[in-house]
Amino acid sequence: MTFAQRLADQQAAFGPICVGVDPHASILEAWGLPDNPAGLTRFSEILAQAFAGQVASIKPQVAFYERHGSRGMAALEGLIGTFREAGTLVISDAKRGDIGSTMAGYADAWLGDGPFGSDAVTLSPYLGVGALKPAFEKAAENDRGAFVLAITSNPEGTSVQGAGDPAAAQCVLNELGETNGRYWPGQPGSLGAVIGATAGERISSWSIDVNVLAGPVLAPGVGAQGATVQQAQVVAGSNLLCVPVSRAILRAGPDVTGLKNAHSAQNL
């Protein structure tokens, strides 16, 4: 099955909420855990107890593991393996983007069969959507997916993403839609876009057509950033919607039941 098909099936069973795995220092402290690799490992173990095999997807933010060096990345490796083995989709939020053999290396790392191999990875198109081809090819080859930054939830992105006529964000969506059509003709593609749930006004003012994507939309901004699932549904258009929520769920930890209840409340 393609990544798009697996995501649709998982969300049909568990709902569209993707658990954002953001173990920053304040979350670890609130959970009574040390801000070190041992704390990260215990944090990941608790999340697995609460969610492995019981939610559609998780989105680990790689930076919070990477800052602890090799032992932190070992904790991430364990998290990815545990959730994928349980059947939960892992969308690694690594925001990689480069050219040539370097991009091919990133593709192999995050969409291959190595220790960080995930179901999908986030990518940055600043060097051109076409430069991401090695990741697109790896995704198609291994039935994985990718989410490319298009309209992010941070205000600093506006000047770049809205530049031009059509807007740069529309150009990204157009190229992704064309690529989806080549790799997965006649069906939803596995190359998605990151479109902030708070981006409704920008989509309107920039005359963005999100439906050309023909792939999933990852819509951050729901929960602590103030957006609602309904707003996320609007920015996704007719595309499959995946809604990452981090703080609004994680603040219910470390109690496993509390974490489960917080996830269920977001899915409502």
- Please tell me which residue in 59, 95, 133, 260 is annotated as part of the active site: 95
Q: Are 221 and 235 in contact (CB under 8 A)?
A: no
Question: How many Cβ atoms are within 10 Å of 19's Cβ, its own excluded?
Answer: 26
| 74-94 exposure pattern, b = at least 16 Cβ within 10 A, e = fewer | bbbbbbbebbbeeebbbbbbb
Of 20, 45, 22, 42, nearest to 33 by C-alpha is: 42
Q: Looking only at Cα atoms, what is the longest distance across the chain?
A: 50
Catalytic status, residue 95 = yes
Beta pairing partners, 92: 121
| 236-249 exposure pattern, b = at least 16 Cβ within 10 A, e = fewer | bbebbbbbbbbbbb
Tokens describing residue 57: 């997807």
Length of the chain: 268
Q: What amino acid positions are annotated as catalytic residues?
A: 95
